[in-house]
Amino acid sequence: MATLMGCIADDFTGATDLAGLLARSGVRVSLRMGVPDHVPDDTASFEVIALKCRTSPVSEAVSQCLAALAWLKAAGASRIFWKYCSTFDSTPHGNIGPVAEALMAELGTDQTIYCPAFPENGRSVYMGNLFVGRLPLAESPMRDHPLTPMRDSNLMRLLEPQVKNPVGLVDHLQVSRGPEAIRTALGELAGQGIAHVVVDAIADSDLSTIAEACRNMVLMTGGSALAMPLPALYERDGLLGNDAVRQDLPTTKARGLVLSGSCSAMTRAQVAHYLGTGVPGFRLDPLQLAEDGIRQALTWLEGQDLSKMPLFYATAEPDSVRAAQQKLGVAKAGSIVEDALAGIAIRARQLGARRFVVAGGETSGAVTRALDVHRLDIGEEIAPGVPWCFAQSDGHDIAIALKSGNFGQEGFFADALSRLEAR
């Protein structure tokens, strides 16, 4: 059966998050790293393409997304979902609006919706304003994000300079009246030539109502949570074939390792917790790596029992990260650690590792690239937004969990592994 819905995500862990939420319903979801060269005949009902274009120049982001759209259309997708971050991360030039406008032109539609709300993670939209927990976006820590500082909380104001056509709102009062009221409101706005419609949502029930109202739009845009109700709705509509159900995913040998390149607060707690369970751990120091390379780490790896799932971590406190960055430069410190973890992953696979738990968004990209993984089949969720994924790497079945910095609870690493054991 052809693909029903094609999703384009503007970053890597965002794509995993979306794929995990779609797969919650038990449907088959496949995640591609970048736009594949050709359309295979075994596409899933829900295909997600992970791009890395959140902060790219607008023209580059648009051309990457149009290439993804062409692939998804060739796979049969009749509905497209443009996924961005639930904090609407965009530079002042912004890629969210221009990409949506380019996709609309290509798809021949003159209206789409914008809903980044993710209530489970504390993101809500009210009267067009985005909140992070109890704070307006522009008063949240996103205000000082190094790449995409968000200094306005009003999504209409953020979107307006990014698009050519008019922006409007379907507010929470309209959403709470149900799917029909949303469709009516969208129709009225369309009559006024409003192409880009922000839609309020403060609870999962709002997202279900919006998904029900908008499920047949050719283009929807938003955070991952808006897509979550869609598989069940399409199932109800009779649009999913028998093969849409997730198939048995491979079992993998219980040998592997945990690779942590994230320095986020939650990952620091997770690393401390995991080491506290008595697993062997090797700390990677960027300064030492810059001098001696990864020989020492590989020698340690070669002496390990991989059934214990040893840990390699560059995870460090902010002072120590700053010190390494001052000495090496921010980019160099990052790439030295990413390259080291990538090299360790390759050697571990040669030594028989088939399970990989990776912490860090950039780190996840580096490790999957090193393992030459292009497609992931999505399995069960370990924590909200972090599913186990299954892939082929150098002819072997591997299981891989990719966790962005602040996701998961303290016991995440051990939880992830016991989840796999329980299958």
Residues 6+ apart with CB under 8 A from 35: 49, 51, 64, 67, 68, 71
Minimum gap (Å) between residue 226 Cβ and ligand ADP: 23
DSSP string, 326-358: HHH-HHHHHHHHHHHHHHHHHHHHHTT--EEEE
In 10 A of CB 298, how many CB atoms? 16
- 381 contacts 387 by C-beta, under 8 angstroms: yes
Minimum gap (Å) between residue 7 Cβ and ligand ADP: 21
DSSP string, 38-107: S--S---SEEEEE---TTS-HHHHHHHHHHHHHHHHHTT--EEEEE--TT----SS-SHHHHHHHHHHHH
Minimum gap (Å) between residue 406 Cβ and ligand ADP: 7
- 84 contacts 54 by C-beta, under 8 angstroms: yes
Minimum gap (Å) between residue 263 Cβ and ligand ADP: 5
Residue closer to ligand ADP, measured from CB, 195 or 289? 289
Residue closer to ligand ADP, measured from CB, 91 or 320? 320
Residue indicated by tokens 């406190």? 317
State how far the alpha carbon of 300 is from the alpha carbons of 9, 16, 268, 344, 363, in Å. 37, 31, 22, 10, 21
Minimum gap (Å) between residue 238 Cβ and ligand ADP: 40
* Chain centre distance of CA 155: 21
Do the bridges between strand 375-383 and strand 386-393 make them parallel or antiparallel, or are there none, so unpaired? Answer: antiparallel
Q: Give the CB-side neighbour count of residue 4, counting CA atoms within 13 A.
A: 23
State how far the alpha carbon of 97 is from the alpha carbons of 58, 81, 155, 201, 372, in Å. 10, 14, 11, 19, 32
Minimum gap (Å) between residue 333 Cβ and ligand ADP: 4
Q: Give the CB-side neighbour count of residue 417, counting CA atoms within 13 A.
A: 22
Minimum gap (Å) between residue 298 Cβ and ligand ADP: 18
Minimum gap (Å) between residue 9 Cβ and ligand ADP: 15
Minimum gap (Å) between residue 343 Cβ and ligand ADP: 13
Minimum gap (Å) between residue 193 Cβ and ligand ADP: 40
In 10 A of CB 313, how many CB atoms? 25
What residues make contact with ligand ADP under the rule CB under 6 A?
261-264, 267, 286, 314, 316, 320-321, 324-325, 333-334, 337-338, 360-363, 404-405
DSSP string, 230-293: HHHHHHHTT---GGGBPPPPPP--S-EEEEE---SHHHHHHHHHHHHTT--EEE--HHHHHHHT
Residue closer to ligand ADP, measured from CB, 332 or 374? 332
Residue closer to ligand ADP, measured from CB, 100 or 402? 402
